[in-house]
Amino acid sequence: MADPAPATGVASRRWWDLTPKELNIVAVTLLFLATLPMLTKIFTSDFGTHIAIGREIVQSRTIADKEFLNYPSLGRYNPNGEWGFQAILYLVFTVGGFYGVSFFCWAIVFAIFLLLHRGAVLRGAHPLLAVLAIFAFSGFLRIRIQPRPELFTYFFVALTIFLFSEYFFGMRKKLIYLFPPAVLVWANSHPSYLIAFVLCGAFIADRFARAIWGKELRWSTLKSWIYPPVLVGVAGLILCGLNPHGYNAILAPLHLLSRGTGGGGGSSILMSISELTPVTGTGFFVYYKAAAAFAVVSLLLGLAGRRVYLLDLFLFAIAFKGAWDSARAVSMMGLFLSQGTSLHLTGFFSRLQEWFPGPAAGKAKPPPKEKQRRKEKSAPRETPVLERRRRPLGPVVIVSLAMFALIAFGGTILAFSFSQLEYGIGMTEHKFSFRAAEFLRKNPVPGKMFNFFDIGGFLDWQLYPEALTFIDGRTYNQEVFMEHQVVTGAMPGWEKVIDKHGISYFVLKAMDSSGMILPIIPALANDPGWSLVFADGLFVVFVRNTPDLQQYIRTYGIPKGILPQHIIREAYHYMFLGVSPIMAYQTMSNMYMLMGQRDNAIRVLRQALETVDDPYLRARLMQIQGGAGIR
């Protein structure tokens, strides 16, 4: 049997004319691809703290409310509002190790993208434009993709946006009843769940505004939608208090943002290292300014396309206000901005069709000589051919430029984040020394430890309960933190802090996260009262030269003269963790000069200038070469 002939007079389907199902498949595929650049190696020391606490929760089946990891704060009341995340993280790590944790973080990011995409599409955004908007802001999220509790905050923000979008714009309205249990889990994972109620209020206010605009603000219509969101909001408020901090924690974000305003020097220093400082003057400010510029363009396009809604203005305000007060919140901006951006672009592109009318179907154009053939009744008539006009060039150019701008913006932000965070899966090999942890487990030093705070979490995980840390990344005890700053800065009186706590050994990095050598390193190197027993290019261990530790020092002591070589290796490692190559190469050059290796100092500066043509490095190279210039 012959195949049926194609219908005549109908234009063939073009490859870009996708059915809704095909469009969804393409969108999900693109979202999956957008998650691949989001992979980052584990580098945060907080990971170790969360694993150590999660291990204690799972093994003891209790949630400790007193400090048990840092000995200066031992027994101090410290309720744990992040225990839910910590227990889950420990279980994931137990099953899958480092790679399991990396996959866990990736899966959460993929879920965030899917939820944001669905929320935008429910509100009328084109599926592919929603994908592009999410990709455009993905670099913001990437700067904080680490196994920290705030990862759950990103997920629950996306989930809340989805649930209320589904209720007010979708068909599966009963999903909104997932909001109270979601808030309960959120409240036991990270103290930022105030955002849930802000979003709830924003969606309700937007619905009221649309009702007023459409002249539908009547009780008969109001009561049909107002009860469920209000009820779930109240239920969420009741359940959120079921956490170790109680109801007081609901305002925790506001307390954190105001923590440094009391005038105390300790608070100011603490703010500066915790990224709770305002975004101005931080490395995140470049992200903030880029987002502001993009948001302005998006709003202008939305106004042109008549798609600017009150809800999106609320979300934009949340994004910029939160990030302005806390640099850490820059990572969340894309969660709020991508929704409005996708709608603005959808509206703008829809208006393009009105400004540049597309080709009409056209009238049936008879083929040549048809008029003559019509006169011949006996001649068979040919099928008319539809005339297809060319599309106007204007919309094609505008759409192409907009798409290019979205992709270029997202790619630029992602590229910048790659310079800050190492791409890949598993644990970074450039920050933590498992060799040092093994050395200390096999050869424990009698007495108490002083450690650099940025490796405290790693030491919590690796050494507890055999050894307790002085401090870790939580830095909630300001008195201890100030003592930490005095010691690591080798400030006057640092020896008194050591004597006060009876410290017998140091576990340190030679450099901080900015690439500067810790002042305590040269102080210990030049003090005969301290001996070096371990150095591997990542960690150094100094032991106090006391009578009861003489045997330990004779067994494991190594010459302090290797410290410059250690610092060179550590500077190299830090370039994988976002430290400026200029700073790293300068440190390497200085260490080679300290060792009398002038040729190697020149070599690393030449290598630096191949990476970045910096005037200071060039001047330093000429200085070392005796003014001979670069040959």
- Shared domain for 438 and 338, answered yes or no, is no
Domain boundary residue, one of 539, 560, 579: 579
pLDDT, residue 269, reads 44
Residue 594 placed within a domain? no
Residue 127 placed within a domain? yes
pLDDT, residue 565, reads 94
pLDDT, residue 254, reads 56
pLDDT, residue 229, reads 94
Please give the share of the chain, as a percent, with pLDDT higher than 90. Answer: 58
Is residue 1 scored above 50 in pLDDT?
no
Higher pLDDT, 178 or 214: 178
Residue 63 placed within a domain? yes
pLDDT, residue 391, reads 58
- Shared domain for 111 and 240, answered yes or no, is yes
79 vs 245: CA distance, rounded Å: 6
CATH code, 480: 3.40.50
pLDDT, residue 262, reads 40
pLDDT, residue 271, reads 43
pLDDT, residue 264, reads 41
> 7-16, 131-140, 141-150, 443-452: lowest mean pLDDT where?
7-16
Q: What is the mean pLDDT of residues 492-515?
A: 94
pLDDT, residue 153, reads 95
Residue 226 placed within a domain? yes
pLDDT band at 260 (very low <50, low <70, confident <90, very high): very low
- Shared domain for 459 and 327, answered yes or no, is no
pLDDT band at 631 (very low <50, low <70, confident <90, very high): very low
For tokens 């106004």, what's the residue?
A: 303
- Number of domains composing the chain: 2
Strand order in the sheet with 530-535: 448-451, 503-508, 540-544, 530-535
- Shared domain for 331 and 236, answered yes or no, is yes
Q: For 28-43, what is each residue's pLDDT tens digit? A: 999 999 999 999 999 9
Instruction: Report CA-CA distances (Å) from 157 to 148, 177, 234, 311, 386.
Output: 15, 16, 18, 15, 51
Angle between helices 310-325 and 194-213 (to 10 degrees): 150
- Which structure tokens are listed for 261? 């305003």
pLDDT, residue 420, reads 77
Q: Which of 332, 123, 311 has the alpha carbon at shortest distance from 201?
A: 311
For tokens 């919140």, what's the residue?
A: 329
- Shared domain for 332 and 444, answered yes or no, is no
> 109-113, 149-153, 264-268, 468-472: lowest mean pLDDT where?
264-268
Q: What is the mean pLDDT of residues 408-429?
A: 87
Residue 592 placed within a domain? no
Domain boundary residue, one of 314, 335, 351: 351
Higher pLDDT, 236 or 377: 236
- Shared domain for 227 and 79, answered yes or no, is yes
Q: For 59-93, what is each residue's pLDDT tens digit? A: 999 999 999 999 999 999 999 999 999 999 999 99
pLDDT, residue 5, reads 47
Residue 403 placed within a domain? no
Answer yes or no: are the C-beta atoms of 85 and 46 closer than 8 Å: no
Contacts 24+ apart (CB under 8 A), 612-619: 612/581, 612/582, 614/582, 616/582, 616/586, 617/582, 617/585, 617/586
- Shared domain for 343 and 444, answered yes or no, is no
Is residue 248 scored above 80 in pLDDT?
no
Q: What is the mean pLDDT of residues 252-271?
A: 47
pLDDT, residue 317, reads 92
pLDDT, residue 219, reads 77
- Shared domain for 160 and 260, answered yes or no, is yes
106 vs 99: CA distance, rounded Å: 10
Is residue 462 scored above 90 in pLDDT?
yes
- Shared domain for 105 and 208, answered yes or no, is yes
Q: For 518-577, what is each residue's pLDDT tens digit? A: 999 999 999 999 999 999 999 999 999 999 999 999 999 999 999 999 999 999 998 888
- Shared domain for 88 and 200, answered yes or no, is yes
Average pLDDT, rounded, for the chain: 86
Please give the share of the chain, as a percent, with pLDDT higher than 70. Answer: 86
Higher pLDDT, 256 or 195: 195
Q: What is the mean pLDDT of residues 111-118?
A: 97
pLDDT, residue 261, reads 43
Is residue 502 scored above 90 in pLDDT?
yes
Range picked from 13-27, 231-245, 391-405 for highest mean pLDDT: 231-245
pLDDT, residue 213, reads 86
Range picked from 68-72, 139-143, 326-330 for highest mean pLDDT: 68-72
pLDDT, residue 270, reads 44
pLDDT, residue 361, reads 46
Is residue 118 scored above 50 in pLDDT?
yes
pLDDT, residue 611, reads 81
Contacts with 529 (C-beta within 8 Å, 6 or more apart), sequence order: 544, 545
| Residue 544 structural domain | 434-579
Q: What is the mean pLDDT of residues 294-307?
A: 90
Residue 600 placed within a domain? no
H or E segment and range at residue 571: helix 563-574
313 vs 85: CA distance, rounded Å: 31
pLDDT band at 12 (very low <50, low <70, confident <90, very high): low
Domain boundary residue, one of 351, 375, 397: 351
Residue 616 placed within a domain? no
